[in-house]
Structure 1
Amino acid sequence: MAVQPRARTIVSMLCSALLATTAATLPAHAESPAAPASWEVRGPLGSPTAVVSLDPADGSPTLAVRRAGRTVLEPSPVGLVTEQADFSKGLTFTGRTDRAISERYTIPTGKSHERLVRMTESRFRFRTADGARLDLLTRVAPDGVAYRYVLPEDHGDVVREASAFTLPSTAEAVISAYRRDNELPFVRYQSAAAVPAGTYSMQALFKTDGGYALVAESDLNGSYAGSHLTHTADSPTFGVSPWNDEPIQVSGSLTTPWRAVITGDLATVTESTFTDDLAPKSRVRDTSWIKPGPALWTWLAGGKEAGQSLEAQKKYVDYAADRGWPYEVVDAGWYYKPGQWDVIDPDWQTNSWMPELVRHGKERGVEIQVWLHYTLLTDPVEREKWLSTLERWGVKGVKIDFMDSESQERMRWYDDALEDTAKHHLMVNFHGSTIPKGIQRTWPHVMTLEGVGGEEKRNNTAVQLAALPFTRNVIGSMDFTPGAFHRPFRPNVQSDAGELGLTVLYESGIQNLAGTPESYDARPEARRYLEQLPTGWEETRLLTGDPGRSAVLARKAPDGRWFIGGTFAGAAQDVDVPLRLGAGKWLVETVTDGPSGLVRAPHVVRGGDTLTVPVVADGGFAALACRWYAGRTSCDR
């Protein structure tokens, strides 16, 4: 009996659901080489669709991304070329294997501690005319599409990638030029084709007909090099090139990093943990010693002199203790000869005052983290000496600076440094560094990374402040070091409320607060707010925003309170903020700029209401929300 149209529809729906939700025991299947030259990969309900195709004319593979029938990514080249084989064309499809992925993991840093991963993975197998094999591994999740290459056999060094991202011609772009420290500003362009020719960072945001798309990378280690985007004028295509276009050294089989597109509406992209979800599981078995939290960072507060003064550092520790901040970070200078700069004391292990500072801090509930130039840790013997000594002294973390490279050699150094810092129970903050790329899932003792032109830089703008929540900070913790109210160069210098809001708007496992004690004491409302900052977040929600123009995020603390930070570029205005905090009544305490300083104001609202907040030019605000009950007048803990 013929199957009726409605029955065929039901069968089709059931088959799609089975592929998206079945556990990893889903049986593999191999398709015939005569299968169509185009194959779809569908993820869990609501996911985008990846389309892998093979050009019948020249055997070149492409990958496209659609969402709800609309284009996110046009068919884009995939493949790579090695010394011995060209896997960018002349390929023949030989089979496909599918499986569903369902995982849960916890992570001490980031937008949330608890993570749920649901993806569909498809492995497409191709061969060259000479029989060399390339597997294209593709994953689709509700918030993204990613692919990587697997070479089961050694075919020599990788000469180049054919990988590229071709955007729709009308796609808007928010993108930063590439530099080895990843610290250049983001610029907004009306179309992808209007982006000037050049090299760009692998954290580019595009607004397409099918939603936003953030290009990123994940699972980068010393088997490969960090990559950047390349662009030619008047083209909507952005190629992928490894560091300095140097060959990737390969010995044996190869699995490349993931090339990822985080996609969805703006909230989906902003709240995504896709690059973490793609990364390997934690390599640190016992994570009980990994404890995020706010820190008083003494570099912008005291400079070089403070770095060489035990008495100054003790005073900073005392101030952190009074605020309830769990850490104080000692920057450059502490291991140099007294009165000299950049001259290491050869007897630093015996002459250092650091053990005394650690003891002083422990008595007051404040742990110490210290700055190191990465060159101290390049030799394995020297690295062991430094790290073992710091562990013995009781130091809890290291801020490692000036790597300034994403070469394969430097990524191999990262591998070694990560393993050794974990062995010695030292949390890590990387400066002059790569960007996260999944590192915080695999190595959860990485609290934060720079990879951003932070508070100490003088070239930030209000536009940059409003671009970072949708670009750099999407892919992992970002050490912007907010809170430097005393800095005359900050773009929101007329908005102390905006500066305060950055401490929530920007996520960092160690939130290094860069102000002076005097600047905090002169702003009691800011000091009060900073004393409330939690050690981590349970959930992150975008309340409203427009990349490069505005951003308002809410982050949920473990005690159920929501912290809110907002920043805006442009003229003074009253902004409407939707409160996506949950049903029921809430007390929301806003901190805004007034004629005589910061003003704290209570508002009793319902979840889902819109709150109107006054913002000065190139300014912002901070807020704290808690459940309201009769008689409650404050959200203080």
Structure 2
Amino acid sequence: MPAQARFRATVLTLCSALLATAATALPARAETASWEVSAHNGPTAVVGLDPDDGRPTLAVRRDGRTVIEPSPVGLVTENVDLSGGLSLTGRSDRTITERYEAATGKSRIRNVKMAESRFSFRGTGGARLDLVVRAAADGVAYRYVLPDTGTTGDVLREASAFTLPTGSDAVIGPYRPDNELRFTRYGAAAAPTGSYMMQALFRTAGGYALVAESDLTGSYAGARLTHDAGSSTYRVALWNDEPVEVSGGALTTPWRAIVTGDLATVTESTFTDDLAPASRIRDTSWVRPGPALWTWLAGGKEAGVSLEAQKKYVDYAAERGWPYEVVDAGWYFLPDQWDVIDPDWQRTSWIPELVRYAADRGVGIHVWLHYTLLTDPVEREKWLSTLEKWGVKGVKIDFMDSESQARMRWYDEVLQSTADHHLLVNFHGSTIPKGMQRTWPHVLTFEGVGGEEKRTNTAEHLAALPFTRNVIGSMDFTPGAFHRPYRPNVGSDAGELGLSVLYESGIQNLAGTPESYDARPEARRYLEQIPAAWEETRLLTGDPGVSAVLARRAADGRWFIGGTFAGAAHTVDVPMRLGAGRWLVETVTDGPSGLVREPHVVSGGDTLSVPVVTDGGFAAIACRWYAGRTACDD
């Protein structure tokens, strides 16, 4: 070999040896540290911390499968980025065991057991961030605590996000401040770029996951999800991307919740209520849910300004045994000017006479208010104290249309004021429950839904609501409007009837006209039996956006069943998950000449075949069967 060639070979050999030595000397990349928080027979939250950039993540697994991939967590404030550069300084654990009674919702008695871990992190300049994680049989949740906001300043944004496993599906609705847009089914990654409501349902390889929020107050702002088409990640964004103001001391954010399990577990869950603070009302004896005759879709503006019309509605509610009648917009306006408040309304209003008339017939009156009447503390006290003095039972407050921090502070004030004046509450044009009904049980329901008033709903939307919006709290869809030509189940009176049970609301505002009920005696008979509240809820069968059948148990032991279906007419097989023994099940279905009631005797666990028409549904009542029993209202 020539000398020059030998020299090149020697150099290459030496370089290779040096590179090998250098590679051996480099330390291997440290693996991400991780810690688990788990509940018995439930999901496991996995908190991770990247050793290179100090970025924390949170994943959710169930039965060895991934529900949520490792997803970013953390906060960014005006003074420090607490989404990276963090180190763990400590962990503490505890078990939370509670039992409480709910005035409204899917079940009356709630038993709660959660594992909680608090992870303390230190960031740049010594700033601190605590990540509090809870795990229960039906969900995982986390929130942030800034122990000293004096050093961090206002919150600019969250790093919080949810990354779905590849191949996941989504049932989601575009975000609007009143939360009233439709739910649609997509591939999770294929959903269009945009903002979506926080109540988003995903089907993953590890089970269903409903993303939600709980314990939102005026110390923070409401959130929405944002998504880029093609991505499996849904990020949490704050109201209008505005900073959250903090005033020193500690800040605790709302919970970011993932309700997870099989479809029945998610649908029947009370997890978002369980995360919320206990009731702030000591004596709740005056909090009485129940059905109401709602006059807006039945009578429109004319009914809102007419004492005589309202008396007729009261009479009809009394005949049906419904405990409430709701007077909507118009009652405090000048008679000939529909948008001008009568300055002498306290003296001239006919509401006191209506309240007395209704009380004599066992009916309570609720009245509509525009939220702007309650923004000034002095005016708020005038309105609410007057209504209490008159004997009004509740208020329907409308058009908040914001989840800003300022508006959430307004909610805090109004919740306390209405409780002080013993006024039940129905929020319209509003946020969604987010645990509020546990803390303030006099809140019977919220709108926050594309309900019966809408003219653009679809059968798919009706079949998505039991698995999305209605999972997290009472929902004022206002069913029963048989006279409405715009409802997606217009060809199925049985489907419309079933919505009165399928959708839970502490005050079920029935939106039909008396004439429409009288023309459907089977529907009227069914609605007369609707109880004030539910002891238990069970999903019998369903496919989000396609079908839903729920059974709800009344205090007398009867089960009320409602079902809705999107698509062609067919016969559905419904599992009777009602308990052992023999049951009489009275179904109400669509027949060629109107509604048909038919009795069936089945055993618990059997399957009942029920015919449904196109985009239709059904209603049913189940009671214990004994020889000779032919009806559940015997």
Is TM more than 0.5 here? Answer: yes
Alignment pair present for 1:568 and 2:565: yes
Q: Deviations over 1:156-206 (max 9, x none)?
A: 1001100000001110000001001100100101x2110111100000000
Structure 1 equivalent of residue 36 of structure 2: 40
Q: How do 1:137-536 residues align onto structure 2 when only pairs under 5 Å count?
A: 137-154=132-149, 155-189=152-186, 191-252=187-248, 253-536=250-533
Q: Secondary structure at the match of 1:99?
A: strand
Output the CA distance in 2 between the equivalents of 1:251 and 1:78: 23
Q: Deviations over 1:128-156 (max 9, x none)?
A: 13111100000000000000000110111
Alignment-mate amino acid for residue 104 of structure 2: T
Does the 8 A contact of 2:80 with 2:124 survive in 1?
Answer: no
Output the CA distance in 2 between the equivalents of 1:427 and 1:169: 45
Shift of 1:339: 2.5
Alignment-mate amino acid for residue 497 of structure 1: A
Output the CA distance in 1 between the equivalents of 2:298 and 2:627: 42
Output the CA distance in 2 between the equivalents of 1:350 and 1:341: 18
Q: Secondary structure at the match of 1:332?
A: coil
Q: Deviations over 1:409-461 (max 9, x none)?
A: 00000000000000000000000000110000000000000000110110111
Alignment pair present for 1:614 and 2:602: no
Alignment-mate amino acid for residue 572 of structure 1: A
Structure 2 equivalent of residue 10 of structure 1: none
Change (3 A) 1:344 1:96: same
Change (3 A) 1:246 1:221: same
Alignment pair present for 1:74 and 2:74: no
RMSD: 0.9
Structure 1 equivalent of residue 15 of structure 2: none
Instruction: Give the greater-gyration-radius structure (CA).
Output: 2
Shift of 1:36: 7.4
Structure 2 equivalent of residue 55 of structure 1: 50
Q: Secondary structure at the match of 1:76?
A: strand
Q: Deviations over 1:218-242 (max 9, x none)?
A: 0000000000001112100011011
Q: Deviations over 1:467-507 (max 9, x none)?
A: 00000000000000000000000000000000000000000
TM-score, with structure 1 as normaliser: 0.94
Structure 2 residue aligned with 1:116, among 111, 118, 133? 111
Shift of 1:57: 1.0
Structure 1 equivalent of residue 13 of structure 2: none
Shift of 1:37: 1.2
Shift of 1:251: 1.0
Output the CA distance in 2 between the equivalents of 1:316 and 1:243: 40
Output the CA distance in 1 between the equivalents of 2:157 and 2:356: 53
Structure 2 equivalent of residue 28 of structure 1: none
Output the CA distance in 2 between the equivalents of 1:342 and 1:540: 42
Q: Secondary structure at the match of 2:125?
A: coil
Alignment pair present for 1:583 and 2:580: yes
Shift of 1:340: 1.9
Output the CA distance in 2 between the equivalents of 1:534 and 1:233: 44
Output the CA distance in 2 between the equivalents of 1:483 and 1:92: 56
Which blocks of at least 5 consecutive residues in structure 2 are unaligned? 1-29
Output the CA distance in 2 between the equivalents of 1:116 and 1:95: 30
> Runs of at least 4 residues of structure 1 off by over 4 A?
none
Does the 8 A contact of 2:174 with 2:183 survive in 1?
Answer: yes
Does the 8 A contact of 2:31 with 2:50 survive in 1?
Answer: no
Structure 1 residue aligned with 2:589, among 578, 589, 592? 592
Q: Secondary structure at the match of 1:510?
A: coil
Shift of 1:84: 1.2
Output the CA distance in 2 between the equivalents of 1:581 and 1:396: 35
Output the CA distance in 2 between the equivalents of 1:122 and 1:328: 47
How many percent identity over aligned positions?
A: 79
Output the CA distance in 2 between the equivalents of 1:336 and 1:481: 24
Shift of 1:35: 12
Tell me the number of residue pairs that the alignment of Structure 1 and Structure 2 aligns.
602
TM-score, with structure 2 as normaliser: 0.94
Which blocks of at least 5 consecutive residues in structure 1 are unaligned? 1-33
Structure 1 equivalent of residue 96 of structure 2: 101
